[in-house]
Amino acid sequence: MKTLTGKELAAAIRVQAQAEAAAGGQPRLAVVVATDDEASLWYVRSIAKAAAGVGIACDLVDLGPGARPEQIDETLTRLSGDPGVHGVMLQTPLPPGASAQWLAAAIDPRKDVDGANPLSLGRLAAGLPAFAPATAAAVMALLDHHQVELEGRRAVVVGRSTVVGKPLAHLLLDRHATVTVCHSRTRDLAAVTSTAEVLVAAVGRAGLIGAGHVAPGAVVIDVGTNPADDGGLTGDVDFEAVAGVAGALTPVPGGVGPVTTALLLRHTARAANLP
Residue numbers 251-270 binding ligand NAP by CB under 6 A: 256-257, 260
Confirm whether residue 6 is marked as ligand binding: no
Q: Is 161 in the site for ligand NAP (CB under 6 A)?
A: yes
Confirm whether residue 224 is marked as ligand binding: no
CB within 8 A of 250, min separation 6: which ones? Answer: 3, 4, 5, 6, 142, 220, 221, 222, 235, 256
Helix (H) or strand (E) holding 226: strand 226-227
- How many residues of this chain interact with ligand NAP, rule: CB under 6 A? 26
**Residue of 30, 23, 78 whose CA lies nearest to 58:** 30
Confirm whether residue 99 is marked as ligand binding: no
CB of 39 to ligand NAP, least distance (A): 9
Please choose, out of 29-37, 101-109, 149-157, 183-191, the segment that lies near ligand NAP by the rule CB under 6 A: 183-191
Axis crossing angle, helix 7-23 with helix 256-272, rounded to the nearest 10 = 10
Site pattern 195..234 for ligand NAP (x: CB under 6 A): -------xxxx--x--------------xxxx--------
Q: Is 183 in the site for ligand NAP (CB under 6 A)?
A: yes
Sign of CA dihedral 83, 87, 93, 98: positive
Q: What whole-number distance in Å separates Cα of residue 114 and Cα of residue 153? A: 27
Residue numbers 130-159 binding ligand NAP by CB under 6 A: 135, 158-159
C-beta of 7 vs 205, nearer to ligand NAP: 205
Q: Which residues pair with 263 in a beta bridge?
A: none
Q: What whole-number distance in Å separates Cα of residue 172 and Cα of residue 143? A: 10
Q: Which residues are part of a known binding site?
A: 159-161, 225
Q: Which residues bind ligand NAP (CB under 6 A)?
A: 135, 158-161, 163-165, 182-186, 189, 202-205, 208, 223-226, 256-257, 260
